[in-house]
Amino acid sequence: MRKRRKIMLAAILCSMVYNIFLDCISASADYGTEISAASAIVMAADGSCIYEKNADEPRLIASTTKLMTALVAIEASKPDDPIEVRAECCGIEGTSMYLSPGEIRTADELLEGLLLASGNDAAEALSVGLYGSEEAFVAQMNKKAAALGLEHTAFINPHGLDAEGHRSTARDLAKLMLCCMQNERFAGITAMRQCVIDNKSYVNHNKLLDRCEGCIGGKTGYTRAAGRCLVSCCEREGTRFVCVTLNDPDDWNDHCKLYDEAFAAWENRLAVSAAECFEIPVTAGEGPVAPAAPERDLRLFVRKEEELVYIHELPRFVYAPVRAGDCAGRVIVLRGGEAAGEVKLVFTEDVSRSKKGE
């Protein structure tokens, strides 16, 4: 019986993954928006794909590299940790927050210069200051990429200047952005329009914060070889998406169009509520029924017009005693005949055995 249950569970999980794959193909085909990006993806907060275009094609990613730089730096520091800027970290080509040798900045000040001004010098200062060398820091970036399952990503430096072997994909960057936005420190900094550090003002390069309704963060990037790269996150009425475009000459407009279409067609629906209540008849108990409820809410990204089908697996009755917290069954949610998710049902109250007849 146990082996059969494992086989059934594996079949359900496979069908869930396959269903997400089919949804992505279908959603991409249904998108009416034409975009100019060489690679692109729109991903829901649960990791499901809403739209894609060459999303697994490895490319140069320019300063969107700094998403991983920021994540690794945040995990290795506290906001007020002092970091001394070494001479080799200054004068890096490209965008800069104009650090000077010997000055001391906090970790979060360097992160603000990294994510708002896209400072290549900030990337170097964080790398050397936190790990002792750029090489050690980049090794940690690649270790983190592997841990997140970013299969087509490799980092050679912390700033994103073109380098042989330095690459990622739209899909990997979307996964990375979802992870970054779960970090409160990162989310707070990337949402800032501007900041002032030691009387220097830095403006966020991400124009979507003002141009796109609900945009709550993102990272820009550009080199001549990589083209314009943009990773962003948008949330409206509790529904969140991330969007990635690589080598896209019209990235601002493309992100706005992709988000508008995604929010118009999809929603993060509460499929199962933990507030729902089920009553299961009890035999030989002090009470006639044992109340049960889902152990958690279940939300699914679905099309707004889509109907869900529910399978409630509950016993016809149970014998007393019943203990609160014990498994009572499960709810399986189907989309298009395929399993999309499930939630365990648990008893919410104790039911003692009846003393009558003893």
User: For 126-153, what is each residue's pLDDT tens digit?
Assistant: 999 999 999 999 999 999 999 999 999 9
pLDDT, one tens digit per residue, over 190-240 is: 999 999 999 999 999 999 999 999 999 999 999 999 999 999 999 999 899
**Residue 32 pLDDT:** 66
Quote the mean pLDDT of the chain.
Answer: 92
The residues that are catalytic are 63, 66, 118
Model pLDDT, residue 5: 41
Q: What CA–CA distance (Å, rounded) separates 94 from 106?
A: 22
- At residue 30 the predicted structure's pLDDT band, cuts being 50, 70 and 90, is low
Output the pTM of the full model.
0.85
| pLDDT at residue 21 tops 70 | no
Domain ranges in the chain? 2-16+273-347, 31-262
* CATH code for the part of the protein at 2-16+273-347: 2.60.410.10
Residue 266, pLDDT > 60, answer yes
Q: pLDDT category, 11, cuts 50, 70, 90?
A: very low
Residues 6+ apart with CB under 8 A from 37: 53, 245, 246, 247, 248, 251, 254
* Cβ 229 vs Cβ 248: under 8 Å: yes
Please list the residues that pair with 303 across neighbouring strands: 266
User: What confidence score (pLDDT) does residue 8 get?
Assistant: 42
Q: Is pLDDT above 70 for 20?
A: no
pLDDT at 60 over 90: yes
Res. 345: pLDDT tops 80: yes
Distance (Å, whole) CA 100 – CA 120: 13
Query: For residue range 295-343, what is the model confidence (pLDDT) as tens digits?
Result: 999 999 999 999 999 999 999 999 999 999 999 999 999 998 999 999 9
* Residue owning tokens 């049960």: 292
Tell me which CATH homologous superfamily contains domain 31-262.
DD-peptidase/beta-lactamase superfamily (3.40.710.10)
Whether residue 220 contacts residue 118, with contact meaning beta carbons closer than 8 Å, is answered with yes
Tokens standing for residue 164:
């042989």
What distances in angstroms separate CA 165 from CA 38, 126, 155, 156, 170, one per listed residue? 19, 22, 7, 7, 16
Bond before 158 cis per omega within 30 degrees: no
What pLDDT is recorded for position 19? 46
Structure tokens at 9: 């569970």
Give me the DSSP letters along 179-234: HHHTSHHHHHHHT-SEEEETTEEEE-S-THHHHSTTEEEEEEEEETTTEEEEEEEE
| C-alpha separations of 50 from 43, 64, 65, 244 in Å | 6, 21, 23, 12
Query: pLDDT class for 355, splitting at 50, 70, 90?
Result: confident
